[in-house]
Amino acid sequence: MANPSKARGTKFESACADYFRSAGFSECYRMADGGEHDAGDLGGLPQVAAECRDRARLDLAGNVADANRRAIGKKVPFGVTIMKKRGASIADAYVSCDLETFTRILHALNG
């Protein structure tokens, strides 16, 4: 892969998918780039569109907005962004969403 940023992103997406599979989400996989119909970076996670970001500077607002757009495109209720924490293990990555999405997640968990 000629683009180092793209290679780093692909590696992080694959690491996230591996982590979810090891945590019991055996259907999780890294999705191919979808262009205008992009449904997020990870597939196989129920009700979630996940955007993975491995960037030196975190863009929380932009990443959360992007995850919400992917959730709409994927027709799922929750969009989250998974952002790499520099110098830490994959388990220490940050997962973010807006408060409205988090409230809906809590309602879903409480049945």
Q: pLDDT per residue over 24-48, tens digit each?
A: 999 999 997 765 567 789 999 999 9
Q: Is 95 helix (H, G, I), strand (E, B) or coil?
A: strand
Q: pLDDT per residue over 51-60, tens digit each?
A: 999 998 989 9
Neighbouring CB atoms inside 10 A of 63's CB total 22
Domains and CATH numbers, the chain: 4-109 (3.40.1350)
How many CA atoms lie within 13 Å of 49's alpha carbon, on the beta-carbon side? Answer: 23
Q: pLDDT per residue over 62-99, tens digit each?
A: 999 999 999 999 999 999 999 999 999 999 999 999 99
Of 95, 105, 22, residue with least CA distance to 64: 95
Q: Is the pLDDT of residue 1 over 60?
A: no
Rounded to whole angstroms, the Cα distance separating 54 from 90 reads 11
Rounded to whole angstroms, the Cα distance separating 9 from 100 reads 27
For the entire predicted model, the pTM comes to 0.90
